[in-house]
Amino acid sequence: MSGEAILVSRREAAERLGMSLRSFERFVQPEIKLVRQGRMVLVPARELEKWAERNAALTLEANR
């Protein structure tokens, strides 16, 4: 297994995508799966990659 975490906090997820936490919560969070444990909310790193791929494809298609 690699050294990267499988689950990250929402703040770390936002940092990995290069955006503010507020932007992450507004634009990304509604479109991805989250892991909830009590009050803790974690983001699967894989979900970030999938979200970025989906949105990059949409942006490229829109520019044609």
CATH number, domain with residue 14: 1.10.10
> In DSSP terms, which residues pair with 35 in a beta bridge?
42
CB 43 within 8 A of CB 13: yes
Whether the pLDDT of residue 59 is over 80: the answer is no
**Within-domain flag for 2:** no
Give CA–CA dist 44/13, Å, rounded.
9
**Within-domain flag for 47:** yes
**Within-domain flag for 1:** no
**Within-domain flag for 16:** yes
Q: Which is it for strands 40-44 and 7-9: parallel, antiparallel or unpaired? A: antiparallel
Domain ranges, residue 16: 7-62
Q: Give residue-wise pLDDT tens across range 5-32.
A: 899 999 999 999 999 999 999 999 999 9
For the chain, what is the domain count? Answer: 1
The whole-number pLDDT of residue 3 equals 78
Tokens of 10: 């929402």
For the CA atoms of the chain, what is the radius of gyration?
A: 13
**Within-domain flag for 23:** yes
